[in-house]
Amino acid sequence: MKHRTKHIMKNLLLLFSVGFLLSSCGGGGDNNSLEAVLSSGDVATLQAKKDELVTQQQDIQQQVKQLDAKLKELNPERNVPLITTFVATDTLFKHYVELQGSVETKQNLVITPEMGGILERVYVKEGDKVAKGQLLAKIDDGGLSQQLAQLQVQADLAKTTFERQERLWNQKIGSEIQYLQAKSNYEGQQEAVAQLKRQLAKANVRAPFSGTIDNVITEQGSVVSPGQTALMRLVNLSDMYIETDVPETYLTDVTVGKEVEVMFPVLGKKVTTEIRQTGDFINPDNRTYMAEIAVPNEDKTIKPNLTARLKINDYTKENAILIPQSIISENADGEQYVYVLTEKDGDKAVAQRVIIETGKTQGDIIEVVSGLSPGVEIIDEGARSVKEGQTVMIINQ
């Protein structure tokens, strides 16, 4: 049947071509050729030639319509839309909120002295690993050591006096006032020694936490001021985190424990971690709240202030049906729909319109929450060119 149809179509086209050539070339002679009419310059001749060509054009259009009708009769499949399909399957769907942030650490400190004076010694250099409490630098104490030595002598004497007076008092010898005076003097001397030791301890600059000396800012021999002169920067890269502002619309979805994919573009590195803390305050200026994401940094390649891209998993569904957004159309009532196949027979089927409801999107993919079930065959390419109840031809690879 197909061979016969092709043969008939070929004959019709051949007849049409011969007829067109005859109508174009016959009857006019050389005196009626287009070149001769144009060179004549006669208005009446030009108009007559134009009318003749218009009539021929109308005849040709009518013949084309007749040929189309015959072709449609002999080959009804020529107007059947060609489409591709895919089968709806349920799959794991993870939706992500994409944000940005920068790396921070709670242990990134510029150390300043507690005592003013000359920076007598610096015991570390840049890159040194130090432990908590380790001596980093020493400031000239301005004679406090000598004062402490003298005060200690007085304190030792006060202690000896008090101990003797206490023994006498226990033996009921001497007056109570003598005992109390000796005790008060001893305690006063002890407190003075302790106070001077605390003051003298400020001359020693120690590491408040374990970490790495990132930068030695002030060299030894310089005059430093308490709380003002920056001596060195100490950084610990073990406890790193990222702070980001999350829009308040995600307040119930972006919570502690949610999975986060962190990408560091500069390093070309990706890590998977989770949210360890969220803020309890909504910023009224931008309607966001704070989320803190832990950053594992075992190889110490991640540095403070490094820019990071975050993908926070705010929604997960085990058995979701996902389709491309490009195949969805909308009717006059604002309802979304797609076309599925019914009455399938070989590579032919009938297109059926199905109203759907959609959920979250991720890139070009959208979740269908109702209207489709696993196993249904959905029209993909050609979805916007078919109509309800129309026969379609499947050309899946």
Give pLDDT tens digits for 40-57: 878 888 888 888 889 989
**What is the average pLDDT across 2-17?**
47
* Dihedral sign of CA atoms 2, 4, 5, 7 in order: positive
Distance CA 51, CA 46 (A): 9
Provide DSSP, 319-344: EEEEEEGGG-EE-TTS-EEEEEEEEE
Is the pLDDT confidence value at 16 over 70? no
Q: Are 240 and 106 in contact (CB under 8 A)?
A: no
Q: Could you report the per-residue pLDDT of 271-299, keeping only the tens digit for each?
A: 999 999 999 899 999 999 999 999 988 88
Beta-sheet strand order (sheet of 223-224): 204-206, 135-139, 117-122, 223-224
What would the two tokens of residue 30 be?
């050389």
Is the pLDDT confidence value at 7 over 60? no
**What is the average pLDDT across 10-32?**
48
Is the pLDDT confidence value at 29 over 50? no
Q: Model-level pTM?
A: 0.55
Q: Comparing C-alpha atoms, which of 146, 152, 141 is closest to residue 115?
A: 141
Q: Are 352 and 309 in contact (CB under 8 A)?
A: no
pLDDT value of residue 2: 43
pLDDT value of residue 27: 43
**What is the average pLDDT across 56-67?**
87
pLDDT value of residue 343: 86
**What is the average pLDDT across 112-122?**
90
Question: What is the percent of the chain where pLDDT is above 70?
Answer: 89
Q: Comparing C-alpha atoms, which of 339, 348, 372 is closest to residue 77?
A: 348
Band the pLDDT of 75: cuts 50, 70, 90: low
pLDDT value of residue 237: 84
Q: What is the mean pLDDT of the chain?
A: 85
Q: What is the dihedral of CA 351, 354, 359, 364, to 10 degrees?
A: 10
Q: Could you report the per-residue pLDDT of 328-384, keeping only the tens digit for each?
A: 999 999 999 999 998 888 888 899 999 999 999 888 999 999 999 999 999 999 888
Q: Of 143-152, 246-255, 294-303, give the lowest mean pLDDT range.
A: 143-152
What would the two tokens of residue 394 be?
């499947």
Q: Could you report the per-residue pLDDT of 171-215, keeping only the tens digit for each?
A: 877 788 888 888 888 888 888 888 888 888 888 899 999 989 989
pLDDT value of residue 22: 44
Distance CA 271, CA 308 (A): 11
Band the pLDDT of 77: cuts 50, 70, 90: low
What is the SS3 string spanning 237-284? CCCEEEEEEEEHHHCCCCCCCCEEEEEECCCCEEEEEEEEEECCCCEC
Is the pLDDT confidence value at 3 over 60? no
Residue 274 — φ and ψ, nearest 5°?
A: -150, 165
pLDDT value of residue 36: 82
pLDDT value of residue 201: 83
Q: Which residue intervals of the chain are DSSP H helices? A: 2-25, 34-40, 43-74, 144-170, 176-201
**What is the average pLDDT across 247-271?**
91
Q: Are 158 and 185 in contact (CB under 8 A)?
A: yes
**What is the average pLDDT across 25-45?**
70
**What is the average pLDDT across 79-90?**
87
Distance CA 393, CA 347 (A): 6
